[in-house]
Amino acid sequence: MDITTENILLIGSLLLLISILAGKTSYKFGVPTLVLFLAVGILAGSEGIGKIEFNDPQLAQFVGIVSLNFILFSGGLDTSWKSIKPVLWHGISLSTLGVLLTALGVGTFVWAITDFTIFEGLLLGAIVSSTDAAAVFSILRSKNMALKANLRPTLELESGSNDPMAYFLTIAFLGLVVNQDQSVISIIPLFLQQILIGAALGLIFGKLSKWLINRITLDFEGLYPVLAIALMFVVFSATDNLGGNGFLAVYLSGVYLGNHDIIHKRTIMRFFDGLAWLMQIVLFLTLGLLVYPSDILPVLGLGILISAFLMFVARPIAVFLSLSFFKMKSRRRWYISWVGLRGAVPIVFATYPLLAGIEKAHMIFNIVFFVSLSSVLIQGTTLSKVADWLHVALPKKVKKISPVDAFLNAGTKSLIREITIPPDNFSVGKKIVNLHFPRNAIIAMISRDGKFLTPNGATQIMEEDTLIVLMENEKNVEAVYDSLQLDMDYDEDD
């Protein structure tokens, strides 16, 4: 079946529906949802029952880049600075040195056992060197796994921030394969340029995005997520055009926005969470359509060797060496090694050699596809069991819950305060988003002129407003009054 403008909506919607229904039942059998999405794409492809002809690596790469923007930006929005701060350097070491060591280990192994040149081997190693953010986020969060000693934020930080390093290494080694006269030393200035510009612009654009979202007044709440999408693509494309790493910039700008007060933040985060899932489904479906299962069979034996070496040798060595600067129990290092999930990202990166037209491009693509599939199948299905085996999982009865969940829990004894704003208070005329309210307190309602208003971040405080504030505990009361620049006995004296 050929995809045309007339049937693309029907085919696309049916594939999405099938993927969602398959994903709903997948965990009953212990199969990660992402594998089901990939399987639906393969079955719908030219060698499956759907017979859909799709052989366009360039379009698949475009879909991959767009999808990765949404996935990384959404992951950044969900990343709590408070949770990652204690493990920041752990994550940075894993996402840079860990990725490099993995690429070098796998690349050298491929060069030793095949007829690949050293640069072709390193190219393959670079492509599979990063853990996949979509796979790690979806599996850890869908299983609601509670892990000891900051393991979960470490894993999520690594998976969300290591794609830029893998992307850089892929482009760098691809350049060395295409241009044999280039020196390895030549990639060092490119690395510094990509990382430094990407990190700087990510933070700068994050601050500019916060300023714009809070300053602009849109008539409809639904337009704020659209504005965030536009800003996300501006961050990626501008950074890329200026020579920086666009993926790094998008992730950092998402982290910045997720940890600051912005108007309609909850709406934006929910919107991107849904879009991230949509992009994961579309990405895996597209890559499933692109692959020809019959092409996998000739590289099956080699794929098994490379996959086993990656899981049991290269990844553990890279993790232990990159975490050797920090004090950590061995069993926790082993678990981090096991959560080295490969997913759609390596397959997307494997389209770059295809478009460059190098000799072994199709072989690299098929090997990478098999490695990614086997990683999600083997490692993804055993995360809970390995966590229990290594004693790094928290017992269910003491699993941690998020502050939001705790706040909304029916058993939580929340405090309620009514605070009236005096005419000369600094908050008069300011938007709620600019008050820097503590995170464990919310303004549930505002009493104004005898009427009750449901506020949002864009609501302006007026004189004589009575704020009905919900707080988690007594510790938040002082922080609330401080944010309003009021004495705690103001209402009583008044």
Distance CA 359, CA 102 (A): 24
Q: What is the pLDDT of residues 340-357, one digit of tens each?
A: 888 778 888 999 999 998
pLDDT higher than 70, residue 6: no
Mean pLDDT of the chain: 84
Residue 90: its pLDDT value, please?
A: 93
pLDDT of res. 21: 75
Confidence of residue 276 (pLDDT cuts 50, 70, 90): confident
**Confidence at 411, pLDDT banded by 50, 70, 90:** very low
Which residues, other chains included, contact 357 with Cβ-Cβ below 8 Å and sequence gap of 6+?
none
Supply the CATH classification number for the domain 8-398: 1.20.1530.20
- Given this model, what pLDDT does residue 145 score? 63
Q: What is the mean pLDDT of residues 113-138?
A: 87
pLDDT band at 82 (very low <50, low <70, confident <90, very high): confident
In the predicted model, is pLDDT for residue 413 greater than 60?
A: no
Residue 197 vs residue 15, higher pLDDT: 197
Domain boundaries of the chain, sorted by first residue: 8-398, 403-493
Distances (CA, A) of 95 to 138, 154, 318, 474, 494: 19, 10, 10, 40, 55
pLDDT at residue 410, as a whole number? 38
pLDDT band at 364 (very low <50, low <70, confident <90, very high): very high
Answer yes or no: are the C-beta atoms of 203 and 256 closer than 8 Å: yes
pLDDT at 12 over 90: no
Tell me, what's the pLDDT at 230?
96
The residue whose two tokens read 């959404």 is 74
129, 131, 133, 135: CA torsion to nearest 10: 120
Q: What is the pLDDT of residue 177?
A: 93
Under DSSP, is residue 467 helix (H, G, I), strand (E, B) or coil? strand
Q: Which residue in the block uniquely carries the two structure tokens 């850890």?
A: 140
Structure tokens at 145: 């796994």
Q: Following DSSP, what letter does each residue of 341-380 receive, concatenated?
A: ---HHHHHHTHHHHHHT-TTHHHHHHHHHHHHHHHHHHTT
In angstroms, the CA 201 to CA 232 distance is 12
Rounded to 5 degrees, what are φ and ψ at 136? Answer: -65, -50
* C-alpha–C-alpha distance, residues 415 and 470, integer Å: 6
Helix, strand, coil percentages in the chain from 3-state DSSP, rounded to 5: 65, 5, 30
103 — pLDDT class (breaks 50, 70, 90): very high
Please indicate whether residue 478 or residue 204 has the higher confidence score (pLDDT). 204
Q: Which residue has the higher pLDDT, 139 or 78?
A: 78
Which one, of 91, 108, 262, 265, lies nearest residue 173 by Cα? 108
Mean pLDDT of 230-245: 95
| Percent residues over pLDDT 90 in the chain | 37
Q: How confident is the model at residue 130 (pLDDT cuts 50, 70, 90)?
A: confident
Return the pLDDT at 490.
Answer: 58
Residue 225 pLDDT greater than 90, yes or no = yes
Q: Is the pLDDT of residue 401 over 50?
A: no
320 versus 152: the higher-pLDDT residue is: 320
* pLDDT of residue 310 exceeding 90: yes
pLDDT score of 302: 95
Place 408 in a pLDDT band, splitting at 50, 70 and 90.
very low
Q: Given a cut of 70, is residue 398 above it in pLDDT? A: no
Tell me the per-residue pLDDT of 169-223, one tens digit each, with 9 for 90 and over.
999 999 999 987 777 787 888 888 999 999 999 999 999 999 999 988 887 888 9
Q: What is the pLDDT of residue 148?
A: 76
Confidence check: pLDDT of 397 > 70: no
**CATH class, range 403-493:** alpha beta
Range in 222-231, 348-357, 404-413, 485-494 the model is least confident about? 404-413
